[in-house]
Amino acid sequence: MKKIFILGASSDIGINVTELFLKNGWYVSAHFNKSNKKLINLKSKYKNIDIIKFDLRNIFKFEKFLKKNKNSFKNYDAFVSLTGYLKPTSFEKFKANDIIEHFNANYLTNLLIIREVVKGMEKRKNGRIVLSSSIGTKFGGGLNTLGYSISKFNNEFFPSYFKKLYTKNITINTLQIGVTNTKIHDNLKSKNMKKRIKLIPLKRMASTQEVATYIYFLCHEKNKLLTGSVINISGGE
């Protein structure tokens, strides 16, 4: 049974990704921070899942956790990061700690995990890593998303940096995810949302199921060629 570690598994996209892997027989280690109700429901439905709680902003505590469990992380065949810590931060009013928390949760945790999972992947000469960025990085981010946009943009650096791993059948890609039908966008006024959707060439948001399908393909053994890429899935933006 293949094993995958999913960061941000309790998000709207994360839940769909987690269940898709569970349905296809993977053993899933699912991370969450605050909300785990949907993950508990999945755990009652599937036996091939364990749930891990962690606040990724506390990077030093997380680093100790990784060190203690480094042997377990060597056994993962795939790693998917869907972390989406977002605290409103503007250029005019941001505090240093605001940027640091975003950097820790959305980027540095990925770097630490990759360092551990590739050890096992290199020995097996097989592995899949998928990270997430945002379409906002392409346009300089939105209002009050300075910390979020900077941290997510850093994930676009990974595919080119880890090119040496590709000869060992380890693929690394970053998805630049566009506007998706999630709770985050429920908070926007419908009028503003309609204006935003008009900017998308396909004139619609992505569904969480669509994003999950792309992630599953990138982790599948059939994906033997697509690697080293920042892949835009935004409906044409």
| Percent of the chain clearing pLDDT 70 (strictly above) | 95
The string of pLDDT tens digits covering residues 61-117 is 999 999 999 899 999 999 999 998 888 888 888 889 989 999 999 999 999 999 999
- 164 pLDDT band, cuts 50/70/90, is confident
Angle between helices 37-45 and 12-23 (to 10 degrees): 10
Residue 200 confidence (pLDDT): 78
Residue 148 confidence (pLDDT): 86
- List the alpha helices (DSSP H) in the chain: 12-23, 37-45, 59-68, 70-73, 96-103, 109-124, 146-153, 158-161, 183-186, 190-198, 208-219
Residue 41 confidence (pLDDT): 93
Q: What's the whole-number mean pLDDT along residues 224-228?
A: 91
Is the pLDDT reported for residue 28 higher than 60? yes
Between 46 and 181, the higher pLDDT residue: 46
Q: Are strands 49-53 and 170-177 parallel, antiparallel or unpaired?
A: unpaired
Q: What's the whole-number mean pLDDT along residues 1-18?
A: 95
Q: What's the whole-number mean pLDDT along residues 29-57?
A: 92
Q: Total structural domains in the chain?
A: 1
CATH code, domain with 35: 3.40.50.720
Residue 141 confidence (pLDDT): 67
- 129 pLDDT band, cuts 50/70/90, is very high
pLDDT, mean over the chain: 89
The residue segments making up the domain with residue 35 are 3-233
User: With contact defined as beta carbons under 8 Å apart, do 30 and 82 qualify?
Assistant: no
Q: What's the whole-number mean pLDDT along residues 108-131?
A: 95
Residue 76 confidence (pLDDT): 97
Residue 35 confidence (pLDDT): 75
Q: What's the whole-number mean pLDDT along residues 150-179?
A: 88
Question: From CA 184, how far away is CA 176, in angstroms rounded?
Answer: 17
Residue 118 confidence (pLDDT): 95
DSSP state of 226: -
The string of pLDDT tens digits covering residues 170-189 is 999 999 987 877 776 665 55
Q: What's the whole-number mean pLDDT along residues 206-229?
A: 93
User: With contact defined as beta carbons under 8 Å apart, do 28 and 4 qualify?
Assistant: yes
User: With contact defined as beta carbons under 8 Å apart, do 212 and 41 qualify?
Assistant: no
Q: What's the whole-number mean pLDDT along residues 7-33?
A: 95
Is the pLDDT reported for residue 139 higher than 80? no
